[in-house]
Structure 1
Amino acid sequence: MTENIRNYLLSKPFTEMQYPFGVGIEVYKVKGKMFATLSLGKMGKGGDGRKAYWWMNLKCDPDEAVMLCDIFPSVIPGYHMNKRLWNTVILDGSIPQGEIERMIDNSFNLVVSKMSQKDQQSIRVYE
Structure 2
Amino acid sequence: MDEIGVSFGVQTFIDEIVEGLAINADVGGKSVNVTGRLSEHDIDDCIAKLVDPQTKKELTINTSLIEPFGARLGSLFQMIGELETSGSGDFRTSGSGDFRTKVGNCVVLKARVVRCVDGMDLALYRKALQLQREFLSKKDG
Shorter-chain TM-score above 0.5: no
Report 1 or 2 for greater relative contact order, CA contacts < 8 Å, sequence distance ≥ 6: 2
TM-score (norm 1): 0.29
The structure that is strand-richer by fraction is 2
TM-score (norm 2): 0.27
